[in-house]
Amino acid sequence: MLITTAAMVTGCSYGLSQKGIDNSPESKTVTVKGSARQVYQSLAQEMQGPGCPPIHSSKLYGNGDGFVVYFGENFIGHSYIWDGAYGKQDGDTVKVTIRDQSYTPQTDFVDEIAAFLKTGSCQ
């Protein structure tokens, strides 16, 4: 039993579950002008190419005033989430909180997500 548990923990050493990241501490917060829907579409659909972290999954909340975009990968039956960008409408701006929850910190991804939000391109 102990060997199985160790293997399970080791198998998830690159990232946590969705619940794990949702409860992890904030790494960085960026305020962007515009609507939550616009910022979500930019992150979830336009953030691609060299230097951009891979998108794992994303969701725009029903009323359109918030979203989450998870960054990570699905690899040989395992699903790894490294970072999450959580957006919430605040007047005419969107507050985006970036959380890094991986066991091996992905601070470069946090910086790339923040840079994309500010400039529209990855570093």
How many residues appear in the chain? 123
Q: Kindly report the pTM of this predicted structure.
A: 0.79
Indicate the helix (H) or strand (E) that contains 112.
Answer: helix 107-119
Q: Is 55:81 a contact under the CB 8 Å cutoff?
A: no
Rounded Cα distance, 117 and 104, in Å = 23
CATH number (domain holding residue 115): 3.30.310
**From CA 23, how far away is CA 99, in angstroms rounded?**
9
Count of the separate structural domains present in the chain? 1
Cα dist from 36 to 79, 85, 120, whole Å? 26, 12, 15
Query: Domain range for residue 99?
Result: 2-119
Hey, what are 49's tokens? 């190419």
For 71-121, how does the pLDDT look when each residue is reduced to its tens digit (9 = 90+)?
988 777 777 788 899 999 999 999 999 998 766 666 788 899 999 999 998
Chain segment 42-84, per-residue pLDDT in tens: 999 889 887 788 899 999 998 899 999 999 887 777 777 888 9
Residue labelled with tokens 């579409």? 41
